[in-house]
Amino acid sequence: MGEWVSNNILLPIMYLLVDVGLAVGFAILALALLDKLADKAYPNIYHSIKSSHEYIDQYQAETTSSAIAGFTTSLKTRPLIVAKFEEFIRNKLLTIYSKRLINELDTFIWKNGKPQAQRSYNDDLIMACAIGCWVRDTALIENQRDLEYKKAFLNCIITNNTKLDTRIPGMKKPNQTEAFEKMVDEKKKMKQFLWLLKG
């Protein structure tokens, strides 16, 4: 997780964020940043369904009216992401090097059944890290699983070179050169679309 301390975000910083791919926890700039990322055709924007907050693939989100870009932190999602963050820490899946994040964790408490920072303290880094854990566990793992499914599917495709003579007795043998030329044409077509098979 990257840290940056300032209240002034300039346009060059936005370009840096696009290139590096960091998540920003500033609600005011979130929509502008998402628009910039979309303009630059950034391929890793997190999308979810509006009511269920369920992850949806970016390409599906472009055609789904109920999909929203970015992660919405609400009363419904906040306990989920904090629980995911706690799970990552408990299972030692996350190593924290940031002193600022550790300081925020020292003042992060349960108050009235809700995880939050103590009075006059912040929990911005905790929530940013918790969202990062949530996105990793939902979007990135799901994309990896989809990639493994595609590879397994492609590995199951086989070719068969058995020749079957379906001619009726007395039928003439087909022109071998014509069949060979057709095979060469089909191989050329396959090479044009070979990029679809790479994974």
- Tens digit of pLDDT for each residue in 108-155? 998 888 888 999 998 889 999 998 898 888 877 777 778 888 888 888
The residue type of 119 is R
Buried b (16+ CB within 10 A) or exposed e, 107-132: ebeeeeeebbbeeeeebebbbbbbbb
pLDDT at 44: 77
Q: What is the DSSP letter of 7?
A: S
Burial of residue 193 (number of CB atoms within 10 Å: 0-12, 13-18, 19+): exposed
pLDDT at 6: 56
Given a cut of 50, the residues of the chain with pLDDT beneath it are 9-10, 16, 18-26
Q: Which residues pair with 69 in a beta bridge?
A: 47
SS3 82: helix
Distance CA 54, CA 72 (A): 11
